[in-house]
Amino acid sequence: MILPIFVISAIAAGCGGSSYGGGDDSAAAQAAKATEAAQAPADKPVGTPAVVHLKNTAFQPGDIHLHVGEKVTFENDDSFAHTVTATQGAKFDSGTLDGGKAFEFKADKAGKISYVCTFHPGMAGTITVS
């Protein structure tokens, strides 16, 4: 009778997580942390050139992160024209960018900037500046 109680107690004690109070190390908690990290905006080292490719009627990547004072270059890799036009958070417009042309924008203040290609509905992106 004592052995089954001991076994049940040992199993129950093993399900409680770390004895150091370090948090929940369950598979569900680890999966939640991984999902949260994947959804966070990707940060890049300061000074790393940011390049957004205009390709297949999409901005690639569509969402980027810059630090104040950094530049991003938009390169048209398509054979047809695009624009890079701010719609919120900044004022810039590349004008018509034919295939092979580029446009550069320098972030001068923190915030979120939304931009589009005025020629292609649905072609949009964001720049988060910190």
Output the pLDDT for position 37: 39
Output the pLDDT for position 73: 98
Entry pTM: 0.65
Sign of CA dihedral 9, 11, 12, 13: positive
Mean pLDDT of the 59-78 span: 96
Which residues, listed in sequence order, are joined to residue 103 by a DSSP beta bridge?
Answer: 74
Q: Which residues contact 121 (CB under 8 A, 6 or more apart)?
A: none
Q: Domain 50-129, what fold? A: Immunoglobulin-like (2.60.40)
pLDDT grade, residue 47 (50/70/90)? Answer: low
